[in-house]
Amino acid sequence: MISTKGRYALRVMIDLAEHKGEGWIPLKDIAARQEISKKYLEIIAKELVRGKMVIGHGGHGGGYVLCREPEKYVVGEILEWMEGSLDAVSCLAEDTPPCARTGTCKTLPLWKEYNQIVHDFFYGKRLSDLL
């Protein structure tokens, strides 16, 4: 399940894309337009800056801007940065030790197929597609 953190991050990115060219966009403006707590958006914005998704500038006249053009952002990249792995089951996550049942698990092909569908869906969408 995608948490509010991932969903709100996408909304922030869309808002910044919609206001691209207007200079530094204050977080309070994004919070008001998106009807999301500014305090919660501060956490999300810091994470987006850390992931080099946006650039932040503090102080008077500061705010946030996208690092690249909206068509250069892949939705899957944003979601995985905010959420971590989008894998349906832990045994398929990259940082998980191999499961002892891998060779005999009857459900493993189902989870692999599901993961591929989710990956292809989110990695097939760009931020610009959401504008």
* 44-81 pLDDT per residue, tens: 999 999 999 999 998 888 999 999 999 999 999 999 99
Which domains does the chain possess?
1-131 (1.10.10.10)
Give the mean pLDDT of the chain.
94
Q: Each residue of 14-32: pLDDT tens digit?
A: 999 999 999 999 999 999 9
How far is the C-alpha of 27 from the C-alpha of 38, rounded, in Å? 7
Find the range with the poorest average confidence among 99-103, 117-121, 126-130: 99-103
pLDDT reported for residue 93: 81
Over residues 89-101, the pLDDT tens digits come to 888 888 888 888 8
Long-range own/partner contacts, residues 81-87 (CB < 8 A, 24 or more apart):
81/9, 81/47, 81/48, 81/51, 81/53, 82/5, 82/6, 82/9, 82/44, 82/47, 82/48, 82/51, 83/2, 83/3, 83/5, 83/6, 86/2, 86/115, 86/118, 86/119, 86/122, 87/115
